[in-house]
Structure 1
Amino acid sequence: MQRLALFALDLAAVCLLVFGLYFPRHRRRDLVVAYLGVNVGVLAVAGSLSSGTVGAGLGLGLFGVLSIIRLRSTELDQHEVAYYFSALALGILGPLSSGPLWLCPALMALILVVMYLGDHPRLLRSYRRQTLVLDSAITDQAQLVAQLEQILGARVHVAHVERVDLVNETTVVEARYSYDRAALRDRELVG
């Protein structure tokens, strides 16, 4: 009976992760089915194999194999990778928990709380990252930062040049920048 309760707790936790946190914030339907499928698949496999003596080794092996398979597929943003690993961890925790009764629910709650706080829209909301293609070939770092700050209307913290094309006069740059509070408030009112 305890195993069934942990399985039900896992399903409730992954539904909260996917439908309560991920989808309302990011709206990618394709990843909803991926997170649910990975969680339930891991839960089923780990649940069926956990009755033996393989326990922790099985959990780590499943975690590693599934992460390699998934990370070799389509490109994911870092926050999507975090949700993916959270769904994996929730699926492994239920079947493979062998500690006190409170430990598994506490660890599941910890995962959900960390994801809620770490991906909260208000956390570091003025910081952004963007890849830009500029219509000029810029090799001087100070000039590049000045032009990016003018275009973005923000303070540039990092400008990583990915490619400079001297023939076609373009620069591809990844910029990490932030808005001050007043500029952020103005942007949110307009956008």
Structure 2
Amino acid sequence: MEFLDIPLFDNDFYKMIFRFILNFSFLTVIIRFIYYPDSKRKDYVFTYYLISLIVFFLCFTLKKYEMDIGMALGLFAIFGIIRYRTNPVDIKEMTYLFVVIGVSIINALANKKMSYAEILSANLIIVFVLLLIEKYWSLKQLVTKTIVYENIDNIKPENYNLLKEDLENRTGLTINNITVGDVDFLKDVATVTIFYYKNK
């Protein structure tokens, strides 16, 4: 049965729903249970879900038509939105964005030449590698913070340990290194940059 030359229903509907549930399940594992517990960035959780949702349905829709060039142009347009001109995106968030787009494309574009076992394996491998790197192999991330420091007697090289101890007591951070920047002797302040590991 058709309406305006478009069928009201076909068997691809079941395929779309099944693949959407599969895709959404793996995306939830990646976004909610791997990415979010460490980053606590709710804004990116929203972005990842919505972008992956649009990418999935866009790819599934384009797959219905014999448009190889159109498909390529569509994918280029999708990846073009990765560059946000208003706010710079951190490399880790950019990587997760690439992952959720890639997973959605894999789940949407798989055809008869690719079995469900291969689709599930691809998703499981991606999730396994993310878990392995994020939770167990994650390297210490060195973070910097610039501080205006008023006790300039401690910025002398011989008083480095006093400076470090004072800054650790004030910030509550385990400091790895300290560099001294601009010094204003009129105001008795100095700009110091502290380096510490994020996971500490």
Q: Shorter-normalised TM-score: what interval?
A: 0.5 to 0.7
5 Å-filtered alignment, 1:83-98, equals 83-98=96-111
* Pairing partner for 1:129 from 130, 143, 147: 143
- What is the rounded CA distance, in whole Å, between the counterparts of 2:94 and 2:162 in structure 1? 32
Distance 1:7 1:17, change over 3 A: same
- What is the rounded CA distance, in whole Å, between the counterparts of 1:108 and 1:55 in structure 2? 26
1:156, 1:178 within 8 Å by CA — same for their partners in 2?
no
TM value normalised by structure 2: 0.63
Larger Rg: 2
* Pairing partner for 1:64 from 79, 91, 95: 79
Deviations 1:41-96 (A, max 9, x none): 11111221233324873575245312223xx3434444333322221211221122
SS at match of 1:68: coil
Overall identity of the aligned pairs, in %: 18
1:50 matched to 2:63? The reply is: yes
- What is residue 31 of structure 1 aligned with on the other side? 44
1:165 matched to 2:179? The reply is: no
Instruction: Write the letter of the residue equivalent to 2:123.
Output: M
2:82, 2:94 within 8 Å by CA — same for their partners in 1?
no
Which region of structure 1 is more displaced relative to structure 2, 6-15 or 90-99? 90-99
Equivalent residue pairs, number: 173
RMSD: 4.0
Unaligned runs of at least 5 residues, structure 1: 185-191
- What is residue 105 of structure 1 aligned with on the other side? 120
2:142, 2:196 within 8 Å by CA — same for their partners in 1?
yes
Unaligned runs of at least 5 residues, structure 2: 1-11
